[in-house]
């Protein structure tokens, strides 16, 4: 029965993940309430699942990767709601709720490894995984490009540039958009890319269940780098929205995120996960 409650919690966590984006990005009060209510219900059912799981096993400590993942997700969600209760920091939900869903999703599939019904279904999900991650990486590249253009345009403005009345090396840059446009473009691409990154990693977590690695996929360099990329993505988005990071500082942080993204690509060459097919 604990598996049923865990699946209910996973569905509610997924709803909370969807609601947290408009709640934080648009500062929407209705979405904020929806996020808190869905997340609170998910936390309750998660608590029931964890207690029932341990009681049925006649022990009070988790054993096995699936049980540890479920309990870790419960702790992450609990810390988020504790911080939200004292500091009203709903913006942390962009990181905490998807992380909790990641941790709960695989245990909610069942005690054994998930198996796709056919090779064709597996390949379809693999294509979706690749497309989602490519969109996320492309969005980050566009965000970095917009940030660099912001720096150049800011330099031109500070130099009191006037079209047609300055040094000729500024001439080809007359086409640059206004600073506000570049700032909004940089943030919009981040807002688009983060859900793509989240969906891509979630599909990847399911796909890897059909490899010989099993739960040890967490130790794979590419998996570790990918989750590090997701944390950097979430942190960058939180900084842009939480403390209003913009302009020059935002460009530097985007550059650091690009370095992490290149490390993720390099990790593909030493990854074991991406050399396996379904078995």
State residue 278's pLDDT score.
44
Domain-wise residue ranges, the chain: 1-110, 119-279
Q: Model pTM greater than 0.75?
A: no
* 273 HSE (CA, 13 A, CB side): 24
Range with lowest mean pLDDT among 27-36, 79-88, 101-110, 200-209: 200-209
Q: Which of the pair, 22 or 15, is modelled with greater confidence?
A: 15
State residue 18's pLDDT score.
87
Assess whether pLDDT exceeds 50 at residue 276.
no
State residue 191's pLDDT score.
81
What percentage of the chain has pLDDT greater than the value 70?
Answer: 70
Tens digits of residue pLDDT in 117-173: 778 888 888 899 889 988 988 888 888 888 788 877 777 777 665 555 555 555 566
């Amino acid at each position: 029965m604990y598996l049923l409650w865990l699946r209910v919690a996973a569905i509610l966590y997924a709803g909370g993940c969807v609601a947290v984006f408009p709640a934080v990005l648009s500062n929407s009060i209705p979405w904020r309430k929806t996020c808190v209510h869905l997340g609170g219900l998910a936390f309750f059912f998660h608590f029931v699942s964890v207690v029932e799981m341990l009681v049925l096993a006649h022990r009070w400590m988790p054993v096995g990767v699936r049980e540890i993942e479920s309990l870790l997700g419960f702790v992450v969600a609990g810390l988020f709601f504790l911080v939200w209760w004292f500091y009203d920091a709903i913006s942390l939900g962009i990181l905490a709720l998807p992380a909790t869903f990641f941790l709960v999703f695989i245990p909610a599939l069942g005690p054994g490894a998930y198996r796709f019904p056919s090779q064709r279904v597996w390949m379809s999900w693999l294509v979706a995984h690749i497309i989602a991650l490519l969109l996320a990486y492309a969005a980050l590249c566009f965000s970095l490009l917009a940030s660099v253009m912001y720096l150049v345009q800011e330099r031109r403005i500070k130099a009191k540039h006037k079209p047609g009345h300055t040094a000729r090396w500024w001439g080809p840059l007359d086409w640059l958009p206004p600073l506000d446009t570049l700032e909004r473009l940089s943030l919009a691409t981040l807002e688009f890319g983060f859900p793509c990154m989240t969906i891509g990693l979630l599909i990847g977590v399911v796909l890897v269940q059909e490899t010989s690695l099993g739960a040890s996929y967490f130790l794979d360099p590419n998996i570790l780098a990918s989750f590090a990329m997701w944390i950097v993505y979430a942190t960058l988005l939180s900084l842009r929205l939480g403390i209003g990071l913009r302009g020059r500082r935002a460009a530097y942080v985007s550059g650091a995120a690009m370095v992490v993204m290149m490390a993720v690509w390099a990790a593909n060459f030493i990854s074991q996960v991406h050399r396996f097919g379904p078995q």
